[in-house]
Amino acid sequence: MNKEEIRDWFKELQDDICGQIESADGSGKFKEDNWDRLNGGGGRTRVIENGSVIEKGGVNFSAVYGATPQKILDALKLDQADFFATGVSIVMHPSSPMVPIIHMNVRYFEMSNGISWFGGGIDLTPHYVDKEDARYFHKTMKAVCDRHHPDYYKEFKNWADDYFYVKHRNETRGIGGIFFDRLSAKGDIFMEDRWAFVQEVGQVFAPIYTHLMTKNKNLPFGENEKKWQFLRRGRYVEFNLVLDKGTKFGLDTDGRTESILMSLPPQANWVYDYQPTEGSNEAETLSLLKKGINWTRE
């Protein structure tokens, strides 16, 4: 396992996921935009728009390298060294408010001083929380984690709850999932083991999301549900622009702005001091946007 093998596997993962999403959507096709980074490396941005299910989505691959920016060195408390980073990042914004938003990122980072690690995760952001879908999603992620280490799901689920928490709103971005960062060799866990886990996380994305697309795409909705969808997209924008470390890393390393901001929805709204009607589906969803819910328990 070396950085070139990891890079090439991520490129193949991008191909596979794009094919499965196109098949499940039925009409949308990804457009590819190849780009080069001035200071080293580049990537392939693939965007799907105005499909039968997906209004806007992206499956991005990148492999960038060069001198590590001072902001990152300061954050990691490290001396100057070159870096290499590669991975796949995905966000899907569906047309229907009954289909959830989903995000995935799997990545590898190494430095010329010998430091290296994996990071990533998958999280689900329903406009309306469907408890059956939430259980399906978390049980699937737990099964992936359990195949690699008995502590992974609990640790990484809690990490996701904390990471995808919109502090200024006192709510989670969605129903969480798993999130992990700076996974390196530790004790009897080798980098090869970490890599096998990251690969399975990447491979489970498309089966999970195509299932949710197919299950929910034909559910009825009206103007009220669309208004709510735009408000929930607004929360998504707030998190990505204010709190997301991946956005900050991309901008701090002079990544391609269009690719970095691909995660933003095509339309989002803000309403001053919005309060859902008591007993409504919107109120129920807000009541479930909190940390610590055990979705794997029946």
Query: Catalytic residues, which ones?
Result: 103
Provide the 3-class DSSP secondary structure of residue 291: coil
Q: Which DSSP symbol is given to 277?
A: P
Sheet holding 54-67, edge to edge: 30-36, 41-49, 54-67, 82-94, 101-111, 116-125, 177-183
The pairing of beta strand 54-67 with beta strand 82-94: antiparallel
Q: Rounded to an integer, what distance in angstroms lies between the CA atom of residue 161 and that of residue 291?
A: 5
Joined tokens for residue 138: 């978390």
First-to-last alpha carbon distance for the chain, in angstroms, is: 40
Helix or strand run (H / E) with residue 102 = strand 101-111
Q: Rounded to an integer, what distance in angstroms lies between the CA atom of residue 41 and that of residue 285?
A: 42
Helix or strand run (H / E) with residue 259 = helix 257-260
- Give the residue from 77, 92, 73, 70 showing the smallest Cα distance to 18: 92
The single-letter code of the amino acid at 236 is Y
Q: Rounded to an integer, what distance in angstroms lies between the CA atom of residue 46 and that of residue 256?
A: 13
Joined tokens for residue 230: 């735009």
